[in-house]
DNA sequence: CCGAATCCACAAGGATACTG
DNA sequence: CAGTATCCTTGTGGATTCGG
């Protein structure tokens, strides 16, 4: 039924209301971040990404790449050489995004311990028998 | 069977490699952002969130709230009044996160048009018959 | 009013095989 | 090398129902 060529993910949804949700919707993909940071160092090839991201499947990498390209975050360049060569590089806006993303990384780094602690406390709270809650 | 109480989403996965992926994993939930920004204005009640977020189901709101609480992003306060009352408020680290998230919003606002343009171009490119690509 | 339990639909994501 | 197509498992999220 030729929707395009691959099966294309969730497309766009009704995320117009919140621009943040919209950008997250682009970046929330399990692999989008990995691709963006990998490409931040400079142009990368398909297989480079495939090995760099560690865990991504061909299919998902392709899907992610397509989405990012469609949104103008990645620029795809094909070199019609004998062994096919394709390079992906960040667009200017994507470079900006990556920079912005760094502050998120920073936040995550700073609070990683707090989060772990909170989780442990929460889980412990729920794991014990309620009758223990009176302490002693 | 009794994993905890509800069915709990993907939990945590192997996102240790990338802290950014980890935080995104918390925030990437379709509703997490909405909850965080809604709670940023001050303590909010369950039904307030339910109406504010517009589109969220009871289940997803509960799940989102639980996850956020577990990660130490939300503080849940129960008032044992006759009509039960529960308030959710951001923790300090969550407030920081929301601030950081603003830069993402900013980015999204600035490039919303670029993204739309890019998408339109991409779709147009793929929609036309390939034989047209030679132009004239 | 707040939330948990169950059931169900769909889409994201993984494995594999095939192609240019 | 750089994808594409197909199959299948799992997660995600909605609707509904019941309880504190």
pLDDT of residue B32: 87
Contact assessment for residue A67 and residue A32, using Cβ atoms and an 8 Å cutoff: yes
Q: What rounded mean pLDDT belongs to chain A?
A: 80
Name B83's Cβ contacts closer than 8 Å, sequence gap at least 6.
none
Round to a whole number and report the distance in Å from the CA of B33 to the C1' of D10. 24
pLDDT of residue A20: 66
- Which range marks the domain in which residue B30 is found? 3-128
Round to a whole number and report the distance in Å from the CA of A45 to the C1' of D2. 9
> Which among B72, B100, B115 has the least Cβ separation from residue A72?
B115
Closest residue in A to B67 (Cα–Cα): A119
Q: Does B108 touch chain A (CB under 8 A)?
A: yes
Contact assessment for residue B26 and residue B73, using Cβ atoms and an 8 Å cutoff: yes
Q: Assess if residue B136 is contained within a domain.
A: no
Q: Assess if residue A134 is contained within a domain.
A: no
pLDDT category of residue A10 using cuts at 50, 70 and 90: very low
**pTM greater than the 0.85 cutoff:** no
How many distinct structural domains can be found in chain A? 1
In terms of Cα–Cα distance, which of B2, B22, B46 is closest to A101?
B22
A5 in contact with nucleic chain D (CB within 7 A): yes
In terms of Cα–Cα distance, which of A33, A15, A35, A34 is closest to A25?
A15
The C-alpha atoms of residue B66 and residue B3 are separated, in whole angstroms, by: 14
Q: Assess if residue B133 is contained within a domain.
A: no
Does the pLDDT value for residue A7 go beyond 50? no
Q: Assess if residue B135 is contained within a domain.
A: no
Dihedral pair phi/psi, residue A31, rounded to 5°: -115, -10
| Mean pLDDT lowest among A11-25, A66-80, B5-19, B31-45 | B5-19
Task: Give pLDDT tens digits for B50-95.
Answer: 998 888 999 999 999 999 999 999 999 999 888 899 999 999 999 9
Q: Assess if residue B134 is contained within a domain.
A: no
Q: Residue A76: which CATH number?
A: 1.10.10.10
């Amino acid at each position: 039924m030729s929707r395009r060529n691959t099966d294309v993910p969730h497309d766009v949804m009704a995320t117009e209301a919140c621009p943040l949700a919209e950008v997250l919707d682009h970046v929330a993909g399990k692999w989008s971040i990995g691709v963006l940071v990998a490409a931040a160092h400079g142009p990368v090839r398909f297989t480079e990404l495939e090995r760099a991201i560690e865990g991504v499947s061909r299919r998902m990498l392709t899907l992610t790449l397509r989405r990012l390209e469609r949104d103008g975050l990645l620029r795809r360049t094909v070199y019609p050489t004998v062994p096919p060569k394709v390079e992906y590089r960040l667009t200017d806006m994507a470079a900006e995004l990556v920079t912005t993303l760094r502050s998120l990384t920073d936040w995550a780094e700073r609070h990683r311990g707090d989060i772990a602690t909170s989780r442990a406390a929460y889980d412990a709270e729920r794991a014990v028998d309620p009758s223990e809650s009176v302490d002693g």
